[in-house]
Copies of this chain bind each other. A is one copy, B any other.
């Protein structure tokens, strides 16, 4: 008897082995190469050294197809005789760019690209290399691990999910204890973002190997939190009340559940001098909210494209915000080892003005802090990779 696995293989329509094996031809003849974010073997999108991207979609029956950068150009694509739509989009900044296709009015992820969780959905993104820059690349250096953990939260009444980066050598010397950076994603993203989109593990591997950052743990938890008894609460009266409520649940979850879990599960140095928190966009606001209400727990603070939460419609009053922590600049400087704020120069005007305004207000009030601007980048991951790359070396020294 001859088991017919060849037939079985032939019927496995999704077994694209041969394609993977054969799709390895170079393209030295032009300047465009397949993006590193493509799924295995996909030839498109293709990127050029100067940041242009060629998109492609086969859609013979469609009447209009557009390549749609979320932060950047939206380009009508052109149909050829076979129904293949293509376009070469104008140059964008280096880094990871979310995009979709819009086909006859419907917005979808590109089947040829890896998908990432952003904008509260799975969306395509294309990596545009930054020439000469490799601090977020997987290089030939020792690599830490990223550990997926679950912790049981009484605050939310649920098992919650987080990722923890441990530096190279964590399992080699069992007497060493480490400081901890809590690092938050933005709104519409989740706890996978800093690894998948941000390359946080490679950034830390590279900084640590170069001696430019202390070996540390990085904890990335979900920023969304809902109280165990939320069903009994009245709905928030407005957007601000809703935000404040979520930030308050997040604050309780971090301080009452996550930190004790991390300190119990990992070899941390469990004190405020060895604990930092940072976050991007919404995560930056959550960082300010959580750390400035708990300076007994944190002494390093980072806001990447998101910082203070204004007091509802009335803005931020430094004399009273966060229990008056900013009222005495000298006392603040004694207590807080680092207050770091960053923004991309090409972010939307309101965001730039907001974060830059926090910086200006702090400077005018004489509050010691670091202010960073990422040149030529928008509200996007390249801004936050650069922010982390500037922020992390300042920690725990």
Contacts and interface: CB of A to CB of B under 8 A. Distances in A.
Interface of A: 1-12, 14-22, 24, 39-41, 57-63, 70, 103-109, 111-115, 117-122, 138, 140, 143, 145-150, 152, 159, 171, 174, 186-188, 190, 195, 201, 224, 226, 230-231, 235-236, 239-240, 242-243, 245-246, 265-266, 281-282, 285, 306-310, 312-317, 348-351, 353-358, 360-361, 364, 379
Given A2-B316, A6-B313, A8-B354, 8 more contacts: A1-B361, A11-B351, A18-B239, A21-B246, A22-B236, A24-B231, A39-B122, A148-B195
B187 A4 contact: no
Contacts of A60: 105
A118 B350 contact: no
A103 to B, nearest CB: 5
A59 B310 CA distance: 38
A231 B7 CA distance: 30
A315 B354 contact: no
B147 A17 contact: no
Given A41-B120, A226-B24, A316-B2, A242 B143 contact: no
B350 A10 contact: yes
Given A59-B104, A62-B105, A121-B111, A360 B187 contact: no
A121 B39 contact: yes
A105 B61 contact: yes
A113 B123 CA distance: 11
Interface-central residue, A14, A104, A195, A231, by most chain B CB under 10 Å: A14
A109 B138 contact: no
B5 A308 contact: yes
Nearest to A59: B106
B5 A316 contact: yes
A8 B230 contact: no
5 closest Cβ pairs, A-B complex:
A2-B315, A3-B357, A8-B354, A61-B105, A14-B119
Contacts of A187: 12, 14-17
Given A41-B120, A145-B148, A187-B12, A310 B111 contact: no
A376 B174 CA distance: 49
B143 A149 contact: yes
A190 to B, nearest CB: 8
Nearest to A16: B120
Nearest to A312: B6
A246 to B, nearest CB: 6
Given A1-B357, A21-B245, A308-B5, A188 B147 contact: no
B108 A11 contact: no
